[in-house]
Structure 1
Amino acid sequence: MNTDNLTYSLKERFLRYVQIDTQSDPESPTCPSTEKQKDLGHLLVKELLEMGVTDAHLDEQGYVYATIPSNTDKDVPVICFCSHMDTAPDCSGTGVKPIVHRNYQGQDLVLPDDNTQVLRMSEHPDLKNQIGNDIITASGTTLLGADNKAGVAEIMDACYQLINHPKIKHGKIRILFTPDEEIGRGVDKVNIAKLGAYAGYTMDGESAGHIENETFSADGAKLIINGVSAHPGFAKGNMESAIKIAGQIVAALPFELSPEGTSDKQGFVHPVGIKGHVEQAEIEFIIRDFEDDKLKEHADVIRTITEKVLQQFPGSSYQLTTKPQYRNMKQVLDKHPQITEYGIEAIRRAGMTPHLQSIRGGTDGSRLSFMGLPCPNIFAGEHAFHGRQEWVSVQDMQKAVQTILHLCMVWEEKA
């Protein structure tokens, strides 16, 4: 079936969704971490029910589940499409004012609520592929939320198309919208048995045509520095400030092992938080690499630096603990090559050149793959995520919807 002639509803959906504040909170122990994420969940359930998706519901942990029944006599494996509803805590998601820049012609895009925020083609190279397209940004004081409400809107529009165009043959399709992906807890409470799917696809990638079957493996690390406190008026020869020790450790981290000093398949050690006082300070790190074995090597770099710095402070000590966060999904996907191959074929049928690549990050699919749902990541069109210059093009989102529809048809054909 030719998907170019469909009437798409995703732009209007996307503009609705991004105005709902769904920022997650890493300091919260609850699931979801913020109740406001359920505001979007309730709206999605309402819209799905109105479409005719009769089992759509939001559970108490903030997950949306829904099913598009099969419309074929073939025995087709159940596939799942997944996106996350939360936005990153790195930048405000309150009061998002989306702006549609129609028929983009390569000009600088000045965001009106803060004219220091300017999208330039030299800084956003994928804008070169957007001439004539409609670009959506925020107004300059918030992120946009295309990560991952672009994916949410695309899946929702795909549901609408599947229900209203029975000529698109497909097996049973499961829909999953998750909370808290941005704080690493997106699938903590997902019910894999309830999903009952053989394969999944997260819609959470960047440029049109991209599909990712490999992510970082990830650990978190916490370094506690125990210093020696003393009255500052009588500190000479006695005080060993944990704050200053922590500062020296951070300053000694090698640039070539930092996010800003690495690219491609290089891993990194990244301090993401620091707090404390004279007697005790704490540094939180994220450790990333495509090879699991290198995670320990990177943690040992922190340990070696700490022990070297502490040679100057004989009364002080430290504890370093590491915790697994997620692992490279390629380890699972390589055992099920057809899942990625069908994704590549769907992108090709949607009129694009497929680009199979690795992602310097993780998705819900990273953990879902190790929970029994092999799950590569497909482009959603989002760019410059987690910041005030985040943007997406309407036409790229339409291509993502077409990719979803072709994926459904490919699985039906191959069954």
Structure 2
Amino acid sequence: MTKETCYNFIEKTFIKYAKINTRSDENSNKIPSTVGQTHLAKIIYNDLKEMGCGNVVYDEIDGYVVATLPNNSNKDVAPIGFVAHLDTADFPADNIKPLVHRNYDGKDILLNKAKNIRLTNVEFPHLKNYIGQTLITSDGTTLLGVDDKAGIAAAVTTIKYFIDNPSKKHGEVSFAFGPDEEIGLGAKRFNVSKFPVSFAYTLDNGLPGQIEPETFNAAQSKVTIKGTAVHPGNAYKTMVNAITIANEIISKLPKNEVPENSKGRDGFFLVTSFQGSISEVNINIIVRDFDNENFIRKKELLKQIIKEISEVYPHRINLSLRNQYENIYSFIQKNPYIVDLVLKSYHDLNLTPNIHPFRGGTDGNFISKKGIPTPNLFNGGENFHGPYEFITTENMLLTYNTIKTIIINHFNN
């Protein structure tokens, strides 16, 4: 592909995929959790088949599309893989309208005239970094789906490049496109026996030059509080207000260990939902930390808070606490080549490397635990999970060029 052809292909591919509602649903028991993800998976499968990818499968059991470029060289080098996810976050995703802003001038962007929704430099000063590029946004009423359809578009473009250029020698490379990453279920179910790679990279969030060999340790807690509701005029010594108990629990969480006061390798507690009435309250609290000892301390603190308040209100509070995923660093550090390969590729592309912890989790958490060390690269977008998401065609091309360069470097050392 020429540079212009590649530019047009990756942009059209992204827009095509972005229009499909693939919002996942943590309350669903289907695999994938939503039909839109199945729809997108089958479109990707057909697109890959049409471009000549001979080894591509869609597995209805785990919802994954896996495409493999066979070894076309005489070298026996460890196979590698790349992973991107089909679903988008818990935000409106019906009737997504991607808007293309060519040669962006650095000014505020009117996303929706009827609702006066704007992408402004005051709120998002980093917009200035994209002057002259082709900016793609939603119309401000939905998310765009950059996370992770930008990663998918870059991966599909890479596959097309190597199919169209058989003279480019490489070993076996596999690409996995899976569901339900946002709700932490997709990669848990992923049958990695059909993804026979020695190591892989997720293409999830982040800016060009980033490499994230570390993620949070994560746990989720559900607190159920039973109250006693009676008429307030007759409540003396009888009413037990579940809302009051819930507020006492939340007030005892460390006030500085919250996302809005955290950065770098800081962990936090976050109350993600609070629903209920006098008679019953349900609270969801997530716990995050990079350091395992601090992670354990946070979980023990939450248990202690519940224990102390339960002594005042016996038999009324139930805590369910489960681990969600663990930091991938212990898997990555055993093989420094995985990161060194990325750093060499960034050097070749004149990208300034930025090694830092991923303040979240990826499919790599579960895939790493299954024996395939999988740090995160980037997909080049910004403002994820909301109406102000955007990506530039140029950044998607950088993701594509990074994947391509990693493959070439790995198999031609």
* TM-score in terms of structure 1 length: 0.93
Give 1:146 shift: 0.2
Identical counterparts, % of pairs: 36
Count residues with an aligned counterpart: 411
| 1:3-37 per-position Cα deviation (integer Å, ceiling 9, x unaligned) | 96873411000000000000000111222111221
**Does the 8 Å contact 2:306/2:319 carry over to 1?**
no
**Which stretch shows the higher mean deviation, 35-44 or 223-232?**
223-232
Q: How many Å separate the matches in 2 of 1:117 and 1:224?
A: 38
Q: How many Å separate the matches in 1 of 2:274 and 2:329?
A: 32
Change (3 A) 1:349 1:369: same
**Which stretch shows the higher mean deviation, 302-311 or 20-29?**
302-311
Partner of residue 118, structure 2: 118
Partner of residue 37, structure 2: 37
**Does the 8 Å contact 2:209/2:352 carry over to 1?**
yes
| 1:69-115 per-position Cα deviation (integer Å, ceiling 9, x unaligned) | 122110121111110000001x1011110011111121111212565
| 1:247-269 per-position Cα deviation (integer Å, ceiling 9, x unaligned) | 33234433311111211111001
Partner of residue 148, structure 2: 148
Query: Which aligned pairs between 1:346-365 and structure 2 lie closer than 5 A?
Result: 346-365=345-364
**Does the 8 Å contact 1:79/1:199 carry over to 2?**
yes
Q: How many Å separate the matches in 1 of 2:207 and 2:69?
A: 27
Partner of residue 167, structure 1: 167
Q: Please say if 1:240 is aligned against 2:240.
A: yes
Give 1:321 shift: 2.7
Change (3 A) 1:348 1:115: farther
Q: How many Å separate the matches in 1 of 2:50 and 2:168?
A: 20
Query: Which aligned pairs between 1:12-411 and structure 2 lie closer than 5 A?
Result: 12-60=12-60, 61-89=62-90, 91-112=91-112, 115-307=115-307, 309=309, 313-314=312-313, 317-411=316-410
**Does the 8 Å contact 2:102/2:135 carry over to 1?**
yes
Change (3 A) 1:332 1:314: closer
Classify the secondary structure of the residue corresponding to 2:212.
strand
**Does the 8 Å contact 1:113/1:141 carry over to 2?**
no
**Which stretch shows the higher mean deviation, 387-396 or 168-177?**
168-177
Q: How many Å separate the matches in 1 of 2:128 and 2:333?
A: 33
Change (3 A) 1:167 1:55: closer
Q: How many Å separate the matches in 2 of 1:34 and 1:318?
A: 33
Identify unmatched segments of 5+ residues in structure 1: none
Give 1:226 shift: 3.0
Classify the secondary structure of the residue corresponding to 1:271.
strand
Task: Tell me which amino acid in the other structure corresponds to 1:357.
Answer: H
| 1:275-298 per-position Cα deviation (integer Å, ceiling 9, x unaligned) | 334343221111100012222222
Give 1:174 shift: 0.7
Change (3 A) 1:325 1:315: closer
* TM-score in terms of structure 2 length: 0.94
Give 1:183 shift: 0.7
Q: How many Å separate the matches in 2 of 1:190 and 1:45?
A: 17
Task: Tell me which amino acid in the other structure corresponds to 1:18.
Answer: A
Give 1:161 shift: 0.5
Task: Tell me which amino acid in the other structure corresponds to 1:74.
Answer: K
Q: How many Å separate the matches in 2 of 1:6 and 1:410?
A: 24
Give 1:308 shift: 5.3
Q: How many Å separate the matches in 2 of 1:114 and 1:81?
A: 41
**Does the 8 Å contact 1:211/1:354 carry over to 2?**
yes
Give 1:366 shift: 1.7
Task: Tell me which amino acid in the other structure corresponds to 1:52.
Answer: G
Give 1:230 shift: 3.6
RMSD between aligned alpha carbons? Answer: 2.0
**Does the 8 Å contact 1:380/1:400 carry over to 2?**
yes
Identify unmatched segments of 5+ residues in structure 2: none
Task: Tell me which amino acid in the other structure corresponds to 1:69.
Answer: P
